[in-house]
Chain A
Amino acid sequence: MEIKVDELAGVKYTAKDFASDVDVKWCPGCGDYSILAQVQRSSPDFGERKENIVWVSGIGCSSRFPYYMNTYGFHGIHGRAGAIATGVKLANPKLQVWVATGDGDMLSIGGNHFIHLCRKNIDVKVIMFNNRIYGLTKGQYSPTSEKGKVTKSSPFGTVDFPFNAVKLATGAGATFVARSFDRDPKHLQDMINRAAKHHGAAFIEVYQNCPIFNDGAFSLLTEKETKPDNVIVLEHGKPLVFGANKEKGIKLDGLNPVVIDLSDGKNSVNDCWIHDEFDDNPTRVFLLARFSDIPNFPVPIGVFRQFSKPTYDKDYVQQISDIQAKKGAGTYEKLMYTTNIWEVR
């Protein structure tokens, strides 16, 4: 049933309207609680009736998400949330489709579906809870675990290199790419709201603490004392500055980002790289995304990139209506009796 926009008038939701009556079953202290709370707090601002919202997930701790949202939900197959969400969106493009997934679910077996969701620019919003560990299976390394990480399945340290999810999403063609923390509720709400307004494949990586199997993985980035020197907040049109007193900045020296001291008299804020979310050349996004891989560089949070590109679902519907406008709507008779037919005598 189609719900007309004017039916929304007068519907005022609060965060509570989006909380289901299912008991939330994550470990005490899990970062997932915060992500759930921020999504529920942001949802009233989406401008969508909750009946028009679908949360799709795969398998893992993060994938319990749809049970806890008072919207439609789909607990899918390991790694396949991207494909399932694509199916949901194409079957009914009027729905607002969200995916809740984790680093294991989306970047291991789900890697293939993820890159194609981004490439096709399906209008689906993906929130990836990245705790850099397999939580549900009790502590094996994931595709975002740092090299050398000791886990239950790598007791002597991992040998493989991790994915940088922002780079991956950007490279695959996602049209909205952002990062936030479970421990920064306001920032996370802001990212969720902006993803909600975006049309096209939107990806938010949320650094999320797993207190049981990977506790403190992001504490350097989230603790009051260390956060200012280790996190840089990306804002469109603003210079890249960080530090407790904004005394440090990032300068672009050709294609090399350099940390500069803004208090030494030699450099000023005017030398800093100005962030441009709408730059359609992804080169600078890759440079930004690389910060998290370079020692002593601040880790960026915020919107890395957003740009407008036709979405698969819109173009697909458009294509059909264009053909129908030209040839008229098809009928069974036309299909059977107009092309390539012959009589057997």
Chain B
Amino acid sequence: MENKTNKNGDARLMKGNEALAEAALRANIDAYFGYPITPQSEVIEYLTREVPNRKEIKTVVLQAESEVASINMVYGAAGAGARVMTSSSSPGISLMQEGISYIASAQLPCLIVNVVRGGPGLGTIQPSQGDYFQATKGGGHGDYHLIVLAPASVQEMADFVFDAFKLAEKYRNPAMILADGALGQMMEKVILPEAGSLPKAPAPWATTGKPKDRDHNIITSLFIQPEEMEKVNLRLQEKYEAIQSEVRYEEIKTDDAEILLVAFGLSSRICQKTVDLAREKGIKVGLLRPITVYPYPYARLKELANQVEFMLTVEMNAGQMVEDVRLAVEGKVPVYFIGRMGGMILSPEDILHKVESVKEK
């Protein structure tokens, strides 16, 4: 899924939230609905500022009265066939869960961006990865999944907007970008995707009015007969099976690795440094970074379990993705965990120390 980048090398220094918003404009979104919440308010601020300056853009940007309203506006616009997105941070994403479940059931494409902050509850405005379970295992009610991309750089904050819409429209499924407060706020060099380079998939199912030659169409998630509801579920499950082929991950120095770090998003950036520090000491550490956290790279982790002594999962939470790593390796190798919570971030040295202490056991 390589994105076409501007031939002129459109490189800029941008905040993650702003790069994401700019990419959304370049993806020609029809609508954005959102509500301010730290640390992602820059998204709506950037969009409201930029849209009127660009003649070619006809995006609707609306500050809703709440995240509940935002996600329902997204539901409405997606049902009408629009390329639509919302963004928020953890407490706001919790508010959206009801709508997300309905959108998943009604099989509509849209993009939901979660710039995660520390929880639970109102928590803190500092970065966290505490919403992994919510993003990958459901969050709302019923058997559904989002397609979840976890960026680890400002570049990916921009690129994954394109990737997420591509996948959402291909599978008629809501997609999520699972970032965190640091990725949203930090500034890095970014080469922006070329504007208009993401063609829109046809949406024959959309509620665009009923001409004579078209069947009556209602967007719904209500299927009161259990036989019918089961069929809808089977169709969803078949789709999630197909989505497994979209799994993406990055490997760093895994060829000869004897110890494997597993980390996504910001934690994976920290782990890269740990890999270098460990190798300076002669410890052969590698890193696997899931890029999609749903679908998850179970198969590759299972393979690597034949090669390494142990795995160490590194997360900014109490240990969530570690459960998927353990599922993947099926007990072949020990899987350890190190993490911090509440907006605290591990240092590369903390992780190295953990590697060394496990190794000495």
Within the complex, what minimum Cβ distance (angstroms) separates A314 from chain B? 32
Contacts A59-B122, A137-B37, A137-B38 given; indicate if A152 touches B65 (C-beta within 8 A).
no
Contacts A153-B45, A155-B49, A156-B52 given; indicate if A143 touches B65 (C-beta within 8 A).
yes
Q: Within A65-108, which residues are at the interface with B (CB < 8 Å)?
A: 75, 77-79, 108
A197 at the interface (CB under 8 A from B): no
Fill in one digit per residue for B240-257: 1 if any A CB lies within 8 Å of its CB, else 0. Answer: 000000000000000000
Cα distance A141–B41 in the bound complex, in angstroms: 12
Contacts A134-B36, A156-B52 given; indicate if A77 touches B68 (C-beta within 8 A).
no
- Chain B residues near A59: list those with CB within 8 A: 122
Residue pair B68, A152 in contact (C-beta under 8 Å): no
Residue pair A78, B91 in contact (C-beta under 8 Å): yes
B208 at the interface (CB under 8 A from A): no
Contact of B48 among A108, A137, A154 (CB under 8 A): A154
Residue pair A137, B41 in contact (C-beta under 8 Å): yes
Residue pair A140, B68 in contact (C-beta under 8 Å): no
Which B residue sits closest to A154, measured CB to CB?
B48
Which B residue sits closest to A77, measured CB to CB?
B122
Counting chain A CB atoms within 10 Å of each CB, the highest count among B38, B48, B91 belongs to B48
- Chain A residues near B35: list those with CB within 8 A: 108-109
Residue pair B52, A152 in contact (C-beta under 8 Å): no
Residue pair A137, B66 in contact (C-beta under 8 Å): no
Cα distance A293–B91 in the bound complex, in angstroms: 35
| Binding site secondary structure of chain A | loop
Residue pair B44, A153 in contact (C-beta under 8 Å): yes
Contact of A153 among B36, B69, B91 (CB under 8 A): B36
A211 at the interface (CB under 8 A from B): no
Cα distance A153–B37 in the bound complex, in angstroms: 12
Residue pair A140, B65 in contact (C-beta under 8 Å): no
- Chain B residues near A140: list those with CB within 8 A: 36, 41, 44-45, 63
Within the complex, what minimum Cβ distance (angstroms) separates B167 from chain A? 29
Residue pair A109, B66 in contact (C-beta under 8 Å): yes
Within the complex, what minimum Cβ distance (angstroms) separates B86 from chain A? 14
Cα distance A79–B64 in the bound complex, in angstroms: 14
Fill in one digit per residue for A156-175: 1 if any B CB lies within 8 Å of its CB, else 0. Answer: 10000000000000000000
Q: How large is the interface on B (under 10, 10 to 19, 20 to 34, 35 or more residues)?
A: 10 to 19
Cα distance A245–B67 in the bound complex, in angstroms: 49
Within the complex, what minimum Cβ distance (angstroms) separates A84 from chain B? 13
Fill in one digit per residue for B30-68: 1 if any A CB lies within 8 Å of its CB, else 0. Answer: 000001111001001100110010000000000101111
Contacts A138-B41, A154-B48 given; indicate if A108 touches B66 (C-beta within 8 A).
yes
- Chain A residues near B36: list those with CB within 8 A: 134, 137, 140, 153
Counting chain A CB atoms within 10 Å of each CB, the highest count among B52, B63, B91 belongs to B63
Q: How large is the interface on A (under 10, 10 to 19, 20 to 34, 35 or more residues)?
A: 20 to 34
Residue pair A109, B65 in contact (C-beta under 8 Å): yes
Contacts A77-B122, A78-B91, A109-B68 given; indicate if A155 touches B48 (C-beta within 8 A).
yes
Cα distance A59–B36 in the bound complex, in angstroms: 12
- Chain A residues near B41: list those with CB within 8 A: 137-138, 140, 152-153
A216 at the interface (CB under 8 A from B): no
Within the complex, what minimum Cβ distance (angstroms) separates A44 from chain B? 31
Residue pair B63, A111 in contact (C-beta under 8 Å): no
Q: Within A190-224, which residues are at the interface with B (CB < 8 Å)?
A: none
Within the complex, what minimum Cβ distance (angstroms) separates A3 from chain B? 30
- Chain A residues near B91: list those with CB within 8 A: 77-78
Cα distance A75–B67 in the bound complex, in angstroms: 20
- Chain B residues near A141: list those with CB within 8 A: 63
Cα distance A77–B41 in the bound complex, in angstroms: 19
Cα distance A156–B63 in the bound complex, in angstroms: 13
Residue pair A152, B45 in contact (C-beta under 8 Å): yes
Within the complex, what minimum Cβ distance (angstroms) separates A133 from chain B? 11
- Chain A residues near B38: list those with CB within 8 A: 136-138
Cα distance A77–B68 in the bound complex, in angstroms: 14
Which B residue sits closest to A156, measured CB to CB?
B52
Within the complex, what minimum Cβ distance (angstroms) separates A116 from chain B? 16
- Chain B residues near A109: list those with CB within 8 A: 35, 65-69, 95
Cα distance A138–B213 in the bound complex, in angstroms: 51
Q: Within A30-89, which residues are at the interface with B (CB < 8 Å)?
A: 59, 75, 77-79
Which A residue sits closest to B67, measured CB to CB?
A109
Which A residue sits closest to B42, measured CB to CB?
A152
- Chain A residues near B45: list those with CB within 8 A: 140, 152-153, 155
Within the complex, what minimum Cβ distance (angstroms) separates B46 from chain A? 10
Cα distance A155–B42 in the bound complex, in angstroms: 13
Counting chain B CB atoms within 10 Å of each CB, the highest count among A78, A140, A153, A154 belongs to A153
Which B residue sits closest to A104, measured CB to CB?
B36
Within the complex, what minimum Cβ distance (angstroms) separates B94 from chain A? 10
Cα distance A233–B245 in the bound complex, in angstroms: 70
Cα distance A143–B38 in the bound complex, in angstroms: 19
Residue pair B63, A154 in contact (C-beta under 8 Å): yes
Residue pair A108, B49 in contact (C-beta under 8 Å): no
Within the complex, what minimum Cβ distance (angstroms) separates B28 from chain A? 21
- Chain B residues near A152: list those with CB within 8 A: 41, 45
Cα distance A235–B37 in the bound complex, in angstroms: 41
- Chain A residues near B67: list those with CB within 8 A: 109
Within the complex, what minimum Cβ distance (angstroms) separates A345 from chain B? 33
Cα distance A138–B67 in the bound complex, in angstroms: 18
Cα distance A109–B95 in the bound complex, in angstroms: 10
Can you list 18 A-B contacts (CB < 8 A)? A75-B122, A77-B122, A78-B122, A108-B35, A109-B69, A136-B38, A137-B37, A138-B41, A140-B41, A152-B41, A152-B45, A153-B44, A153-B48, A154-B48, A155-B45, A155-B48, A155-B52, A156-B48
Other than the given A109-B65, A140-B36, A140-B63, 10 more pairs (CB < 8 A) read A78-B122, A108-B66, A109-B69, A137-B36, A137-B37, A152-B41, A153-B36, A154-B48, A154-B63, A155-B45
A residues near B (Cβ < 8 Å) are: 59, 75, 77-79, 108-109, 111, 134, 136-138, 140-141, 143, 152-156
B residues near A (Cβ < 8 Å) are: 35-38, 41, 44-45, 48-49, 52, 63, 65-69, 91, 95, 122
